[in-house]
Structure 1
């Protein structure tokens, strides 16, 4: 489908505040509440977007899994079913997977890495690295979505996060956060049914978690809807002393939807989306190649996205 100006404005608006009311969204975008609600529902039904709640403060890991040729899709499908995975990709060649992992505890992470995956016959090897810093992705807006004016943006930005007293979700919040991970715009009535809490308690707790930075809302957008048909994961080896500078510089590239510092030989993971294969080649050889302090680049086109945001 082709997105018009209202569609793109709505995508940008939801990226700024995933739980903004349809009344506020309509006011900012200059249309009626009913119009913006219908447009949102159409975009969701067409698979263009999904708003999800993300619990901050938990460690985020990146997995790279080498599989047998006939087993990668099966393993990837199983990973995609897990509530603690995100961005499960089948990579070029069809025998390699990549995935994000954010568990509630170290024990849960170790159970997957040391028990389940290593004992799966179709899995040949697993590399797991924590993301120590995110330069692009999550709460950092994707440049390609920037269509609203400064005044419109100011009306949608949530209240500043309390950085003096950072918040942290506890075990009691897990049912609420699980429900919001499925639908970040679920009504308080729906969240009450999913958690057994009162609507008043849910409204208060969501506000507390957001105000302290323990919860934020992100938008999973189908790049093809924006005319971007080719995606790739890049593993960059950067001079350690220049990692922060390079990470910030690469994050400003409009092709980049994620950039995060990791451990290992390659210490900067980047995900890019481009118009086509030629545009990806141009990005790698023209734009990325000019960034100083990048010593090596390994790229793997994404053949299939088995799961987007958790």
Structure 2
């Protein structure tokens, strides 16, 4: 059964960037975007391997290469998805989550300011516009302290900061990260797609990684906005041969220096409610609970952290009833889970590489 949602089509006119001005809903003419089984399976396939050729995707999904290319362009034009390649973020010296409390109504402006920082990702504003959550990846303790001890305290609208160190990120299994969409791929379809590229970036140690070369900067700059750019285009823009470009990119991904990410505007795919759940789990159960929750189709990110709460869960839901069922039936039955603070998000301002789904906030003054 198709899912029909409203798409802010004119967002495609704005280049994706980490510091673009967020448009208001009034700025856009909307049209109906019908998301059917083939669209959902295409998203699943791209989550498995974001650079799989159209012919490979078509063979796995049982349709023509032209149809898959057309469906992909349609989803991209609607800003429903974007494939990108990024440096591995999980080797940063300091990996933190920040919960920043603000004066009433000040959170959107602070969130926009944080999106401009290259070392900050996953910027969200909680419902009520009094809290911003973000992930900080600092290359050193000095860089970390520059934001925590100098930048944020000087912001007059900031009333408090809670800092949590990321201790363990729980993978979602061999297929995808978030897999809440209906119509998952069959084992045969996954076999036709090949081994995939999704897990590499989180499972490789820093010592095993390939060092970046000067020529890699331009390569990664291009892939940060178009992770499916052809080897011919990459070669033309970087000055390497196609074969050398292909080998270099494959090595960076295989050894974990870079990884593919599929950024999804999940509201356009029928999941408009994003919530962060700050959980307190008994230490003896923390590992088991983290692994169990990471396997749930509703979860997009699960990690153990320091702090008063020790497990962060980011989930995507169709509505409040869906979230309620997740909290009561999924999490509520897990042994060792003592407390849950559920924080619905007003908007996601920045994912790994760009703004995707922040159109619900008013524009900056």
Common topology (TM > 0.5):
yes
Q: Are 2:57 and 1:25 aligned?
A: yes
Q: Are 2:279 and 1:231 aligned?
A: no
C-alpha distance in structure 1 between counterparts of 2:262 and 2:180, whole Å:
13
Offset, 1:104:
4.6
Change (3 A) 1:107 1:202: farther
Q: Identify the match of residue 73 of structure 2 among 35, 41, 55.
A: 41
Contact 1:138 1:218 in 2 (8 A): no
C-alpha distance in structure 2 between counterparts of 1:5 and 1:281, whole Å:
26
Superimposed CA distance per residue, residues 12-58 of structure 1 (whole angstroms, 9 cap, x where no aligned partner): 11001111111211222122222211111110111111112232242
The answer for the alignment partner of 2:47 in structure 1 is: 15
Q: Secondary structure at the match of 2:308?
A: coil
The answer for the alignment partner of 1:167 in structure 2 is: 209
Q: Secondary structure at the match of 1:2?
A: strand
Name the stretch that deviates more: 139-148 or 38-47: 139-148
Change (3 A) 1:199 1:214: same
C-alpha distance in structure 2 between counterparts of 1:171 and 1:102, whole Å:
21
C-alpha distance in structure 1 between counterparts of 2:146 and 2:345, whole Å:
27
RMSD (Å) for aligned C-alpha atoms: 2.7
Unaligned runs of 5+ in 1: none
Superimposed CA distance per residue, residues 77-118 of structure 1 (whole angstroms, 9 cap, x where no aligned partner): 111233333221110221100112334555443333333223
Unaligned runs of 5+ in 2: 1-32, 354-365
Change (3 A) 1:21 1:104: farther
The answer for the alignment partner of 2:247 in structure 1 is: 204
Offset, 1:196:
5.8
Q: Secondary structure at the match of 2:208?
A: coil
Q: What is the total number of aligned residue pairs between the two structures?
A: 310
Q: Are 2:87 and 1:55 aligned?
A: yes
Query: How is 1:285-300 mapped onto 2 (pairs within 5 angstroms)?
Result: 285-300=328-343
Change (3 A) 1:255 1:163: closer
Q: Secondary structure at the match of 2:177?
A: coil
C-alpha distance in structure 2 between counterparts of 1:237 and 1:94, whole Å:
24
The answer for the alignment partner of 1:143 in structure 2 is: 179
Task: State the TM-score, normalizing by the size of structure 2.
Answer: 0.76
